[in-house]
Protein backbone atom coordinates (compact mmCIF):
# COMPACT_ATOMS: atom_id res chain seq x y z
CA UNK A 1 0.00 0.00 0.00
CA UNK A 2 1.39 3.44 -0.95
CA UNK A 3 1.90 6.28 1.50
CA UNK A 4 -0.70 8.31 -0.39
CA UNK A 5 -3.29 5.60 0.14
CA UNK A 6 -2.30 5.28 3.79
CA UNK A 7 -2.69 9.02 4.33
CA UNK A 8 -6.37 8.59 3.37
CA UNK A 9 -6.67 5.85 5.97
CA UNK A 10 -4.99 8.10 8.52
CA UNK A 11 -7.60 10.78 7.86
CA UNK A 12 -10.38 8.21 8.16
CA UNK A 13 -8.93 6.95 11.44
CA UNK A 14 -8.82 10.50 12.85
CA UNK A 15 -12.41 11.10 11.75
CA UNK A 16 -13.76 7.85 13.17
CA UNK A 17 -14.56 6.59 9.68
CA UNK A 18 -11.94 3.85 9.28
CA UNK A 19 -13.50 0.61 8.08
CA UNK A 20 -12.64 -2.43 10.22
CA UNK A 21 -11.27 -4.26 7.18
CA UNK A 22 -8.75 -1.42 6.54
CA UNK A 23 -7.29 -1.32 10.05
CA UNK A 24 -4.82 -4.21 9.63
CA UNK A 25 -3.32 -2.62 6.50
CA UNK A 26 -2.97 0.76 8.22
CA UNK A 27 -1.32 -0.68 11.31
CA UNK A 28 1.03 -2.82 9.26
CA UNK A 29 2.16 0.18 7.20
CA UNK A 30 2.59 2.49 10.19
CA UNK A 31 4.70 -0.16 11.88
CA UNK A 32 7.32 0.19 9.13
CA UNK A 33 6.92 3.73 7.75
CA UNK A 34 8.39 6.64 9.76
CA UNK A 35 7.10 9.26 7.31
CA UNK A 36 3.51 8.10 7.70
CA UNK A 37 3.84 8.01 11.46
CA UNK A 38 4.90 11.68 11.25
CA UNK A 39 1.90 12.43 9.10
CA UNK A 40 -0.40 10.77 11.64
CA UNK A 41 1.10 12.83 14.45
CA UNK A 42 0.93 16.05 12.42
CA UNK A 43 -2.68 15.42 11.40
CA UNK A 44 -3.58 14.70 15.02
CA UNK A 45 -2.07 17.98 16.25
CA UNK A 46 -3.62 19.88 13.40
CA UNK A 47 -7.01 18.30 14.12
CA UNK A 48 -6.82 19.62 17.68
CA UNK A 49 -5.92 23.10 16.42
CA UNK A 50 -8.74 23.08 13.93
CA UNK A 51 -11.27 21.99 16.53
CA UNK A 52 -10.18 24.78 18.88
CA UNK A 53 -10.23 27.32 16.06
CA UNK A 54 -13.67 26.32 14.92
CA UNK A 55 -15.21 26.25 18.41
CA UNK A 56 -16.31 29.93 18.18
CA UNK A 57 -17.72 29.20 14.74
CA UNK A 58 -19.80 26.35 16.11
CA UNK A 59 -21.16 28.63 18.80
CA UNK A 60 -21.90 31.21 16.13
CA UNK A 61 -23.84 28.57 14.21
CA UNK A 62 -25.98 27.77 17.25
CA UNK A 63 -26.67 31.47 17.82
CA UNK A 64 -27.51 31.84 14.17
CA UNK A 65 -30.00 28.98 14.31
CA UNK A 66 -31.74 30.61 17.27
CA UNK A 67 -31.79 33.90 15.42
CA UNK A 68 -33.35 32.34 12.32
CA UNK A 69 -36.01 30.61 14.40
CA UNK A 70 -36.84 33.89 16.11
CA UNK A 71 -37.16 35.55 12.74
CA UNK A 72 -39.44 32.78 11.47
CA UNK A 73 -41.67 33.12 14.52
CA UNK A 74 -41.86 36.86 14.14
CA UNK A 75 -43.49 36.37 10.74
CA UNK A 76 -46.63 35.27 12.59
CA UNK A 77 -49.43 33.17 11.12
CA UNK A 78 -49.03 34.85 7.76
CA UNK A 79 -45.64 33.24 7.41
CA UNK A 80 -47.05 29.78 7.81
CA UNK A 81 -45.90 27.46 5.10
CA UNK A 82 -48.59 26.09 2.90
CA UNK A 83 -50.80 29.09 3.39
CA UNK A 84 -52.08 29.99 0.00
CA UNK A 85 -52.40 33.68 -0.51
CA UNK A 86 -55.96 33.69 -1.68
CA UNK A 87 -56.23 36.18 -4.46
CA UNK A 88 -59.90 36.75 -4.23
CA UNK A 89 -61.75 39.11 -6.41
CA UNK A 90 -63.64 41.76 -4.47
CA UNK A 91 -66.82 39.75 -4.85
CA UNK A 92 -65.27 36.57 -3.59
CA UNK A 93 -63.75 38.47 -0.69
CA UNK A 94 -67.20 39.73 0.12
CA UNK A 95 -68.47 36.21 0.01
CA UNK A 96 -65.78 35.06 2.39
CA UNK A 97 -66.68 37.89 4.77
CA UNK A 98 -70.33 37.00 4.52
CA UNK A 99 -69.50 33.44 5.46
CA UNK A 100 -67.50 34.55 8.45
CA UNK A 101 -70.31 36.78 9.62
CA UNK A 102 -73.04 34.33 8.87
CA UNK A 103 -71.29 31.09 9.87
CA UNK A 104 -73.79 28.88 8.06
CA UNK A 105 -72.10 25.78 9.38
CA UNK A 106 -73.11 26.50 12.95
CA UNK A 107 -76.04 24.35 13.86
CA UNK A 108 -79.20 26.27 14.74
CA UNK A 109 -82.38 25.09 16.45
CA UNK A 110 -84.17 24.76 13.11
CA UNK A 111 -81.72 22.25 11.71
CA UNK A 112 -81.87 18.58 12.44
CA UNK A 113 -78.86 16.41 11.82
CA UNK A 114 -79.22 14.06 8.90
CA UNK A 115 -76.13 11.92 9.37
CA UNK A 116 -75.95 9.29 12.08
CA UNK A 117 -74.01 10.50 15.10
CA UNK A 118 -70.39 9.46 15.44
CA UNK A 119 -70.13 6.67 17.99
CA UNK A 120 -67.88 7.74 20.83
CA UNK A 121 -68.21 6.10 24.21
CA UNK A 122 -71.23 4.05 25.12
CA UNK A 123 -73.12 4.80 28.29
CA UNK A 124 -72.83 2.27 31.05
CA UNK A 125 -75.90 0.00 31.37
CA UNK A 126 -78.67 1.40 33.61
CA UNK A 127 -78.25 0.50 37.27
CA UNK A 128 -74.53 0.06 37.07
CA UNK A 129 -72.92 2.09 39.83
CA UNK A 130 -70.68 4.64 38.26
CA UNK A 131 -67.82 3.92 40.62
CA UNK A 132 -67.71 0.32 39.38
CA UNK A 133 -68.61 0.95 35.82
CA UNK A 134 -66.27 -0.78 33.44
CA UNK A 135 -68.49 -0.72 30.40
CA UNK A 136 -66.79 1.91 28.32
CA UNK A 137 -66.60 0.70 24.75
CA UNK A 138 -63.43 1.69 22.94
CA UNK A 139 -63.77 4.32 20.26
CA UNK A 140 -64.05 2.42 16.95
CA UNK A 141 -61.33 2.91 14.37
CA UNK A 142 -63.86 4.25 11.87
CA UNK A 143 -67.62 4.72 11.60
CA UNK A 144 -69.94 4.83 8.60
CA UNK A 145 -71.46 8.29 8.92
CA UNK A 146 -73.29 8.61 5.61
CA UNK A 147 -74.51 6.02 3.14
CA UNK A 148 -76.20 6.63 -0.20
CA UNK A 149 -77.11 3.28 -1.69
CA UNK A 150 -75.79 -0.19 -0.97
CA UNK A 151 -72.62 -0.23 1.13
CA UNK A 152 -71.11 -3.60 2.05
CA UNK A 153 -68.39 -4.65 4.45
CA UNK A 154 -66.18 -7.72 4.77
CA UNK A 155 -64.81 -7.84 8.33
CA UNK A 156 -61.45 -9.54 8.89
CA UNK A 157 -61.69 -13.30 9.09
CA UNK A 158 -65.10 -13.47 7.41
CA UNK A 159 -65.95 -14.71 3.95
CA UNK A 160 -69.29 -13.16 3.14
CA UNK A 161 -69.93 -9.52 2.35
CA UNK A 162 -72.77 -7.99 4.30
CA UNK A 163 -74.66 -4.69 4.37
CA UNK A 164 -72.96 -2.03 6.46
CA UNK A 165 -75.23 -0.48 9.06
CA UNK A 166 -75.23 3.31 9.20
CA UNK A 167 -73.30 4.40 12.26
CA UNK A 168 -71.71 0.97 12.41
CA UNK A 169 -68.12 0.68 13.60
CA UNK A 170 -65.30 -0.48 11.34
CA UNK A 171 -62.44 -2.58 12.71
CA UNK A 172 -58.91 -2.74 11.36
CA UNK A 173 -58.70 -5.07 8.41
CA UNK A 174 -62.27 -4.51 7.23
CA UNK A 175 -62.85 -4.17 3.51
CA UNK A 176 -65.62 -1.85 2.32
CA UNK A 177 -67.22 -1.59 -1.10
CA UNK A 178 -69.84 0.61 -2.74
CA UNK A 179 -72.30 -0.50 -5.37
CA UNK A 180 -72.45 0.89 -8.92
CA UNK A 181 -74.57 3.84 -7.77
CA UNK A 182 -73.63 4.11 -4.12
CA UNK A 183 -71.46 6.61 -2.26
CA UNK A 184 -70.55 6.80 1.38
CA UNK A 185 -68.54 8.59 4.02
CA UNK A 186 -66.55 7.21 6.97
CA UNK A 187 -65.10 9.13 9.87
CA UNK A 188 -62.04 7.73 11.56
CA UNK A 189 -61.39 8.07 15.27
CA UNK A 190 -58.90 10.89 14.67
CA UNK A 191 -61.53 12.92 12.78
CA UNK A 192 -60.42 12.21 9.23
CA UNK A 193 -63.16 11.81 6.61
CA UNK A 194 -62.88 9.06 4.00
CA UNK A 195 -65.39 9.27 1.15
CA UNK A 196 -65.91 6.51 -1.37
CA UNK A 197 -67.29 7.06 -4.87
CA UNK A 198 -69.40 4.52 -6.74
CA UNK A 199 -67.93 1.08 -7.52
CA UNK A 200 -65.12 1.49 -5.02
CA UNK A 201 -63.43 -0.99 -2.71
CA UNK A 202 -61.15 0.04 0.12
CA UNK A 203 -59.51 -1.84 3.00
CA UNK A 204 -59.15 -0.02 6.33
CA UNK A 205 -55.80 -1.43 7.41
CA UNK A 206 -55.63 0.87 10.44
CA UNK A 207 -56.94 4.25 11.54
CA UNK A 208 -54.56 6.04 9.20
CA UNK A 209 -53.83 3.42 6.54
CA UNK A 210 -56.04 2.44 3.67
CA UNK A 211 -55.60 0.26 0.64
CA UNK A 212 -57.48 1.28 -2.50
CA UNK A 213 -58.34 -1.84 -4.47
CA UNK A 214 -60.58 -0.16 -7.06
CA UNK A 215 -62.58 3.01 -7.68
CA UNK A 216 -62.10 6.43 -6.12
CA UNK A 217 -61.61 7.75 -2.60
CA UNK A 218 -61.35 11.31 -1.29
CA UNK A 219 -59.58 11.61 2.05
CA UNK A 220 -59.80 14.71 4.24
CA UNK A 221 -57.09 14.04 6.75
CA UNK A 222 -56.96 15.34 10.29
CA UNK A 223 -53.61 16.55 11.58
CA UNK A 224 -51.80 13.90 13.63
CA UNK A 225 -48.19 12.92 14.30
CA UNK A 226 -48.45 9.77 12.19
CA UNK A 227 -48.79 9.79 8.45
CA UNK A 228 -52.06 9.07 6.74
CA UNK A 229 -51.36 6.67 3.89
CA UNK A 230 -53.28 5.14 1.03
CA UNK A 231 -51.63 2.33 -0.89
CA UNK A 232 -52.36 1.89 -4.59
CA UNK A 233 -50.70 -0.49 -7.06
CA UNK A 234 -46.91 -0.10 -6.72
CA UNK A 235 -47.05 3.12 -4.71
CA UNK A 236 -48.09 4.68 -1.45
CA UNK A 237 -49.53 8.17 -1.15
CA UNK A 238 -48.93 9.73 2.25
CA UNK A 239 -49.93 12.99 3.85
CA UNK A 240 -49.70 14.76 7.17
CA UNK A 241 -52.98 16.65 7.28
CA UNK A 242 -54.30 17.27 3.82
CA UNK A 243 -57.11 16.46 1.41
CA UNK A 244 -56.48 14.34 -1.63
CA UNK A 245 -58.37 12.24 -4.13
CA UNK A 246 -57.18 8.95 -5.59
CA UNK A 247 -58.75 7.09 -8.47
CA UNK A 248 -57.57 3.84 -9.98
CA UNK A 249 -57.75 3.89 -13.77
CA UNK A 250 -56.56 0.64 -15.26
CA UNK A 251 -52.83 0.33 -14.60
CA UNK A 252 -52.53 3.89 -13.39
CA UNK A 253 -53.66 5.96 -10.43
CA UNK A 254 -54.81 9.55 -10.66
CA UNK A 255 -53.94 11.69 -7.65
CA UNK A 256 -55.50 15.11 -7.13
CA UNK A 257 -54.32 17.14 -4.13
CA UNK A 258 -57.05 19.45 -2.85
CA UNK A 259 -55.28 20.81 0.21
CA UNK A 260 -51.74 20.57 1.55
CA UNK A 261 -49.19 18.22 0.03
CA UNK A 262 -48.74 14.49 -0.43
CA UNK A 263 -45.72 12.26 -0.75
CA UNK A 264 -45.81 9.59 -3.43
CA UNK A 265 -43.43 6.73 -2.63
CA UNK A 266 -42.72 4.01 -5.12
CA UNK A 267 -39.94 1.85 -6.50
CA UNK A 268 -38.13 4.74 -8.14
CA UNK A 269 -38.17 7.05 -5.14
CA UNK A 270 -40.28 9.78 -3.61
CA UNK A 271 -42.02 12.78 -5.06
CA UNK A 272 -44.16 15.49 -3.56
CA UNK A 273 -47.39 16.51 -5.24
CA UNK A 274 -48.82 19.81 -4.08
CA UNK A 275 -52.21 21.41 -3.77
CA UNK A 276 -53.78 22.22 -7.11
CA UNK A 277 -51.91 19.48 -8.93
CA UNK A 278 -53.13 16.36 -10.65
CA UNK A 279 -50.60 13.55 -10.97
CA UNK A 280 -50.71 10.25 -12.84
CA UNK A 281 -48.94 7.44 -11.00
CA UNK A 282 -47.82 4.43 -12.95
CA UNK A 283 -45.29 1.67 -12.20
CA UNK A 284 -44.50 3.17 -8.86
CA UNK A 285 -43.65 6.65 -10.07
CA UNK A 286 -45.29 9.94 -10.92
CA UNK A 287 -45.40 9.85 -14.70
CA UNK A 288 -46.88 13.23 -15.34
CA UNK A 289 -48.49 16.07 -13.51
CA UNK A 290 -50.37 19.25 -14.29
CA UNK A 291 -52.27 22.05 -12.61
CA UNK A 292 -55.93 21.25 -12.42
CA UNK A 293 -59.18 22.67 -11.11
CA UNK A 294 -59.23 20.59 -7.97
CA UNK A 295 -62.72 21.49 -6.88
CA UNK A 296 -64.29 20.54 -10.18
CA UNK A 297 -62.10 17.43 -10.43
CA UNK A 298 -63.44 16.20 -7.10
CA UNK A 299 -66.99 17.41 -7.60
CA UNK A 300 -68.29 13.86 -7.30
CA UNK A 301 -68.15 14.40 -3.53
CA UNK A 302 -70.75 17.18 -3.75
CA UNK A 303 -73.46 14.56 -3.78
CA UNK A 304 -72.29 13.51 -0.34
CA UNK A 305 -71.92 17.06 0.94
CA UNK A 306 -75.37 17.97 -0.33
CA UNK A 307 -76.88 15.19 1.71
CA UNK A 308 -75.63 16.72 4.92
CA UNK A 309 -78.34 19.38 4.63
CA UNK A 310 -76.30 21.93 6.42
CA UNK A 311 -73.39 24.05 5.41
CA UNK A 312 -69.93 23.32 6.67
CA UNK A 313 -66.55 24.94 6.24
CA UNK A 314 -65.88 22.33 3.58
CA UNK A 315 -69.00 23.33 1.65
CA UNK A 316 -68.19 26.98 2.11
CA UNK A 317 -64.70 26.51 0.72
CA UNK A 318 -65.95 24.68 -2.33
CA UNK A 319 -68.70 27.16 -2.93
CA UNK A 320 -66.27 30.04 -2.68
CA UNK A 321 -64.11 28.45 -5.32
CA UNK A 322 -67.03 27.80 -7.63
CA UNK A 323 -68.41 31.31 -7.28
CA UNK A 324 -65.01 32.70 -8.08
CA UNK A 325 -65.01 30.63 -11.26
CA UNK A 326 -68.38 31.97 -12.31
CA UNK A 327 -67.71 34.74 -14.75
CA UNK A 328 -64.81 32.96 -16.38
CA UNK A 329 -66.31 31.95 -19.67
CA UNK A 330 -65.15 28.37 -19.90
CA UNK A 331 -65.82 27.55 -16.28
CA UNK A 332 -69.18 29.19 -15.88
CA UNK A 333 -71.51 26.44 -16.94
CA UNK A 334 -69.51 23.74 -15.20
CA UNK A 335 -69.22 25.74 -11.99
CA UNK A 336 -72.89 26.60 -11.89
CA UNK A 337 -73.72 22.95 -12.25
CA UNK A 338 -71.50 22.07 -9.33
CA UNK A 339 -73.01 24.80 -7.17
CA UNK A 340 -76.41 23.34 -7.83
CA UNK A 341 -75.03 19.93 -6.94
CA UNK A 342 -74.20 21.29 -3.48
CA UNK A 343 -77.90 21.86 -3.09
CA UNK A 344 -79.59 23.16 0.02
CA UNK A 345 -76.33 23.51 1.92
CA UNK A 346 -75.25 26.45 -0.19
CA UNK A 347 -78.49 28.49 -0.27
CA UNK A 348 -77.79 30.57 2.80
CA UNK A 349 -74.16 31.22 1.84
CA UNK A 350 -75.31 32.32 -1.61
CA UNK A 351 -77.86 34.72 -0.15
CA UNK A 352 -75.31 36.02 2.33
CA UNK A 353 -72.93 36.61 -0.51
CA UNK A 354 -75.47 38.71 -2.38
CA UNK A 355 -76.25 40.73 0.74
CA UNK A 356 -72.60 41.23 1.61
CA UNK A 357 -71.49 44.82 1.16
CA UNK A 358 -68.19 43.80 -0.35
CA UNK A 359 -69.89 42.06 -3.25
CA UNK A 360 -71.58 45.25 -4.36
CA UNK A 361 -69.03 46.02 -7.02
CA UNK A 362 -69.47 42.67 -8.75
CA UNK A 363 -72.85 42.98 -10.34
CA UNK A 364 -72.52 39.92 -12.54
CA UNK A 365 -71.67 37.51 -9.72
CA UNK A 366 -74.35 38.87 -7.44
CA UNK A 367 -76.96 38.34 -10.11
CA UNK A 368 -75.64 34.86 -10.83
CA UNK A 369 -75.77 33.96 -7.17
CA UNK A 370 -79.36 35.21 -6.89
CA UNK A 371 -80.31 33.26 -10.04
CA UNK A 372 -78.81 30.11 -8.54
CA UNK A 373 -80.96 30.57 -5.43
CA UNK A 374 -84.01 30.78 -7.67
CA UNK A 375 -82.99 27.61 -9.48
CA UNK A 376 -82.44 25.80 -6.19
CA UNK A 377 -85.87 26.98 -5.07
CA UNK A 378 -87.30 25.34 -8.16
CA UNK A 379 -85.74 22.07 -6.99
CA UNK A 380 -87.16 22.41 -3.51
CA UNK A 381 -83.73 23.01 -2.06
CA UNK A 382 -84.44 26.21 -0.11
CA UNK A 383 -84.52 25.66 3.63
CA UNK A 384 -87.23 27.48 5.57
CA UNK A 385 -84.64 29.36 7.53
CA UNK A 386 -83.43 31.09 4.36
CA UNK A 387 -86.81 32.66 3.50
CA UNK A 388 -86.39 35.75 5.65
CA UNK A 389 -83.01 36.53 4.09
CA UNK A 390 -84.42 36.11 0.59
CA UNK A 391 -87.25 38.52 1.44
CA UNK A 392 -84.59 41.10 2.27
CA UNK A 393 -83.26 40.77 -1.28
CA UNK A 394 -86.54 42.27 -2.51
CA UNK A 395 -85.24 45.70 -1.58
CA UNK A 396 -81.90 45.25 -3.31
CA UNK A 397 -80.69 48.00 -5.60
CA UNK A 398 -80.16 45.57 -8.46
CA UNK A 399 -83.40 44.88 -10.33
CA UNK A 400 -82.27 41.42 -11.42
CA UNK A 401 -81.46 40.44 -7.85
CA UNK A 402 -84.96 41.57 -6.81
CA UNK A 403 -86.44 39.55 -9.65
CA UNK A 404 -84.59 36.33 -8.81
CA UNK A 405 -85.45 36.73 -5.13
CA UNK A 406 -89.13 37.05 -6.02
CA UNK A 407 -88.91 33.95 -8.20
CA UNK A 408 -87.24 32.03 -5.38
CA UNK A 409 -89.92 33.10 -2.92
CA UNK A 410 -92.73 32.20 -5.30
CA UNK A 411 -91.28 28.75 -5.95
CA UNK A 412 -90.64 28.11 -2.29
CA UNK A 413 -93.91 29.42 -0.80
CA UNK A 414 -96.29 29.66 -3.76
CA UNK A 415 -96.89 33.23 -2.69
CA UNK A 416 -96.39 36.50 -4.59
CA UNK A 417 -98.13 38.98 -2.28
CA UNK A 418 -99.96 40.24 -5.38
CA UNK A 419 -96.74 41.38 -7.04
CA UNK A 420 -95.51 39.06 -9.83
CA UNK A 421 -91.80 38.40 -10.10
CA UNK A 422 -91.41 40.35 -13.34
CA UNK A 423 -92.67 43.51 -11.66
CA UNK A 424 -89.66 43.51 -9.34
CA UNK A 425 -87.54 44.33 -12.36
CA UNK A 426 -89.23 47.70 -12.85
CA UNK A 427 -88.53 50.97 -11.09
CA UNK A 428 -91.97 51.27 -9.59
CA UNK A 429 -90.64 51.54 -6.07
CA UNK A 430 -93.87 52.58 -4.39
CA UNK A 431 -95.59 49.35 -5.47
CA UNK A 432 -92.54 47.35 -4.56
CA UNK A 433 -92.38 48.88 -1.10
CA UNK A 434 -95.98 47.92 -0.57
CA UNK A 435 -95.32 44.34 -1.68
CA UNK A 436 -92.28 44.17 0.53
CA UNK A 437 -94.30 45.21 3.58
CA UNK A 438 -96.77 42.46 2.75
CA UNK A 439 -94.01 39.93 2.63
CA UNK A 440 -92.76 41.03 6.03
CA UNK A 441 -96.23 40.67 7.53
CA UNK A 442 -96.69 37.30 5.87
CA UNK A 443 -93.43 36.09 7.25
CA UNK A 444 -94.32 37.13 10.77
CA UNK A 445 -97.41 34.91 10.52
CA UNK A 446 -95.76 31.89 8.90
CA UNK A 447 -92.24 31.96 10.22
CA UNK A 448 -92.58 29.16 12.78
CA UNK A 449 -94.12 26.90 10.19
CA UNK A 450 -91.38 27.38 7.60
CA UNK A 451 -88.45 27.21 9.92
CA UNK A 452 -89.46 23.75 11.03
CA UNK A 453 -89.88 22.15 7.66
CA UNK A 454 -87.93 21.59 4.50
CA UNK A 455 -89.72 23.25 1.61
CA UNK A 456 -90.80 21.26 -1.40
CA UNK A 457 -92.43 22.51 -4.58
Partner 1 sequence: MSDGELVLAALNGQGSAYEELVHRWTARVLAVCHAKVRRADVAEDLAQETLMRGFVALKALSDPEKFGAWLHGIAIRTCLDWLKARARKQVPFSSLGGETGPDGLFPAPGDGAAAALEKDDERREILSEVERLPEDLRKVIMLFYYEDSSYREMAHVLGVSPATINARLTKARDLLRRRMSAARR
Question: Which residues contact partner 1 by CB under 8 A?
Answer: 7-8, 10-12, 15, 17, 39, 42-43, 46-47, 49-54, 56-58, 60-62, 64-65, 67-69, 71-73, 79-83, 223, 227, 238-242, 260-261, 263, 269-272, 274
Nearest distance in Å: CB 202, partner 1: 23
Over the range 229-265, which residues count as b (16 or more CB within 10 Å of their CB) and which as e?
bbbbbebbbbbbbbbbbbbbeeebbbbbbbbbbbbbb
Closest residue by Cα to residue 231 from 261, 266, 196: 266
Nearest distance in Å: CB 244, partner 1: 12
Which of 49, 160 has the CB closer to partner 1?
A: 49
Q: Which whole-number Å values give the CA distances from 442 to 196, 252, 383, 391, 448, in the listed order?
A: 44, 59, 17, 11, 11
Q: How many CB atoms lie within 10 A of CB 155?
A: 15
Which of 20, 109 has the CB closer to partner 1?
A: 20
Which of 118, 224 has the CB closer to partner 1?
A: 224
182 close to 164: Cβ distance less than 8 angstroms: no
Which of 188, 261 has the CB closer to partner 1?
A: 261
How far is residue 186's CA from residue 146's CA, in Å, rounded to a whole number?
7
Nearest distance in Å: CB 272, partner 1: 6
Nearest distance in Å: CB 186, partner 1: 22
- C-alpha torsion angle, residues 113, 118, 121, 127 (rounded to 10): 40
419 close to 431: Cβ distance less than 8 angstroms: yes
Nearest distance in Å: CB 236, partner 1: 13
The SS3 of residue 290 is strand
Which of 58, 379 has the CB closer to partner 1?
A: 58
252 close to 227: Cβ distance less than 8 angstroms: no
Which of 145, 261 has the CB closer to partner 1?
A: 261
Which of 239, 295 has the CB closer to partner 1?
A: 239
How far is residue 127's CA from residue 115's CA, in Å, rounded to a whole number?
30
How far is residue 157's CA from residue 143's CA, in Å, rounded to a whole number?
19
Nearest distance in Å: CB 273, partner 1: 9
Nearest distance in Å: CB 84, partner 1: 10
Which of 221, 393 has the CB closer to partner 1?
A: 221
How far is residue 438's CA from residue 103's CA, in Å, rounded to a whole number?
29
Which of 274, 317 has the CB closer to partner 1?
A: 274
Q: How many CB atoms lie within 10 A of CB 66?
A: 9
The bridge status of strand 261-266 relative to strand 235-239 is antiparallel
Cα 348–chain centre separation = 21
Nearest distance in Å: CB 31, partner 1: 20
Nearest distance in Å: CB 69, partner 1: 5
Ramachandran area for residue 82 (φ above 0: left; ψ -120 to 50: alpha; else beta): left
Which of 223, 249 has the CB closer to partner 1?
A: 223
Residues in the chain: 457
Nearest distance in Å: CB 179, partner 1: 34
Partner residues linked to 119 by β-bridges: none
Amino acid sequence: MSCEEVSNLISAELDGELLPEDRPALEAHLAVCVACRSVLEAFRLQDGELRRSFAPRRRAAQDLARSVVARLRSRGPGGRLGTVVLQLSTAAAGFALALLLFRPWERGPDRTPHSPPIVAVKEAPAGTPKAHSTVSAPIPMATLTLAMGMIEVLPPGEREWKAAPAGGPIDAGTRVRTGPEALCEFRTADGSAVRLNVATEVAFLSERRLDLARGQVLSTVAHAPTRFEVTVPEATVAALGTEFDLQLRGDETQLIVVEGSTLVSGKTGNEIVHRGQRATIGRGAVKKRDEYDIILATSWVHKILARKRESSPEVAKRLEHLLAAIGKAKMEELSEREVLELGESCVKPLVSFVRSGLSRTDKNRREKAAALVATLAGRGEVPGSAIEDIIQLLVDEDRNVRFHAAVALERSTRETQGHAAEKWRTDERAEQDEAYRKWISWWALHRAEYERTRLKT
